[in-house]
Amino acid sequence: MTRWQDAQTSNDSGRNRHRDERPFLGRLQRQKVRISRSKILESAVKVMELYGASPSILEVEYFEEVGTGLGPTLEFYSTVSKEFSKKKFRLWRENDSNAGDEFAFGKRGLYPAPFGNSQAATENGQKVLTLYKMLGKFVARSMIDARMIDVSFNPAFFRFNRNLGIPPLSTVKAVDYDLYKSLLTLRQFYTAKRTIDEHPRLTMAQKEAKTSMIQVNGATIDDLALDFTLPGYPHIDIIANGSQVPVTIDNVALYIAGVVDYTTGRGVQKQIEAFREGFSQVFPYSALRAFTPEELVMLFGTTDEDWSIESKFILFECCARQNANDFQALMDSIKADHGFNLDSPAVRYLLRVMTELSPSTRRDFLQFVTGSPKLPIGGTFRLLALGMGSLLIFA
């Protein structure tokens, strides 16, 4: 209905009315909210509690600022989504993050930091679960209102399925590749021991002697000095009193299974369930089954965007086409306005300069002119007239 109404509004400009004009369906309800920029996450949590499940479209404005409408609203969704990524909330794994960074980062996207058995019952654990619940509601709200957000999820976040039992070792690869390689090395100890145990011609004494001599990459398992705590999270015991239990050739299989379970199974189960619960308060999480995890990441997170001259970027009032692979397709999608046409030097100069921007500068440019750091996926992208002065700056 929103897209239908937007199309009707565009046709009302007068000079470009079409005979197949769509009928007006009625007025969409909008819920205006005013928030504090200095406490934007706290304000967003409150807004989600009050209006997250409301059928009205949210429209945001800020205290002591005159701006209202689409721009501040897009900025709200973009800024709040980045707030959820901050390290200080300890929501995400930080294996790939730099110590000085403010935001958590993962090479394959953000994935929940694991919980210990009793951590969810603590005050801090409850705060983390509340944030995941609010994040779920926030993401669902952004979909309902067709707003862009800036959270780069790991696709594995949407593949979680506790009904399958303990996940296989391969699931760790998508979450933490370095940990996955370490577990593969440990599995070589287990495989070597099993080969010895299953040898039909060795006596028990011979098996024990050969087992004690097992080495991988020139080291025995005792040389690794491992205990039953989760790698990278020494406060999480895989088994009771895990910090006091060494990993040996006899229990290494139990250790591997425990690490996998706490990394992609029970250790993240409560966090993902809290996200899904919050999401389902807006509309059913099961509706996302229509999308693959990779498609959801494209919808919710940062993606590599092609700004070449054959790209999908459109200027002024225009549509973003995913499959625009040549210059003519780009030109066919542009509707020049405000005194410009497709041959205007300023238009061509601006497009040319934008194709040369670095990825970070592209995001800053979009954030400045639209309130969102990303190009839209599929729908309409409106970059209203910048004015001749602004065009000359970019030219």
As a whole number of angstroms, the distance between CA 35 and CA 64 comes to: 10
Per-residue pLDDT at 310 exceeds 50: no
Q: Which two tokens stand for residue 48?
A: 């989600």
Top pLDDT among 316 and 175 is at 175
Q: How confident is the model at residue 118 (pLDDT cuts 50, 70, 90)?
A: confident
Per-residue pLDDT at 102 exceeds 50: yes
Q: 């973009």: which residue's tokens?
A: 78
Per-residue pLDDT at 313 exceeds 70: no
pLDDT at site 327: 43
Nearest residue to 315 (alpha-carbon basis) of 283, 291, 338: 338
338 and 385 in contact (C-beta within 8 Å)?
yes
Quickly name the fold that domain 30-160+268-300 has: Hect, E3 ligase catalytic domain fold (3.90.1750)
Cα angle for residues 48, 146, 299 (degrees, 5° grid): 100
pLDDT at site 160: 87
pLDDT at site 117: 84
Q: How confident is the model at residue 111 (pLDDT cuts 50, 70, 90)?
A: very high
pLDDT at site 10: 55
Per-residue pLDDT at 380 exceeds 90: no
Q: How confident is the model at residue 383 (pLDDT cuts 50, 70, 90)?
A: very low
pLDDT at site 29: 80
Q: Which helix (H) or strand (E) holds 62?
A: strand 57-62
Range 153-179 average pLDDT: 87
Per-residue pLDDT at 317 exceeds 70: no
Three-class SS state of 216: strand
Which stretch, 1-10, 191-200, 360-369, 381-390, has highest mean pLDDT? 191-200
Range 221-225 average pLDDT: 94
pLDDT at site 316: 40
Top pLDDT among 314 and 35 is at 35
pLDDT at site 27: 66
Per-residue pLDDT at 183 exceeds 80: yes
Query: What residue ranges do the domains of the chain occupy?
Result: 30-160+268-300, 170-264, 317-394
pLDDT at site 24: 57
pTM for the structure as a whole: 0.78
pLDDT at site 44: 93
Range 102-111 average pLDDT: 87
pLDDT at site 35: 92
Lowest mean pLDDT among 56-60, 214-218, 285-289, 296-300: 296-300
Which stretch, 2-16, 72-86, 179-193, has highest mean pLDDT? 179-193
pLDDT at site 108: 87
Phi, psi (deg, nearest 5) at residue 316: 60, -135
Cα angle for residues 316, 73, 44 (degrees, 5° grid): 155
Per-residue pLDDT at 25 exceeds 90: no
Per-residue pLDDT at 247 exceeds 70: yes
As a whole number of angstroms, the distance between CA 328 and CA 323 comes to: 12
Per-residue pLDDT at 387 exceeds 60: no
What does the DSSP 8-state code read for residue 318?
E
Q: What value does the mean pLDDT of the chain take?
A: 80
Q: Helix (H) and strand (E) counts for the chain?
A: 14, 6
Beta strand pairing call for 317-319 and 380-382: antiparallel
Range 148-176 average pLDDT: 86
Which stretch, 315-324, 335-344, 372-381, has highest mean pLDDT? 335-344
Range 184-204 average pLDDT: 94
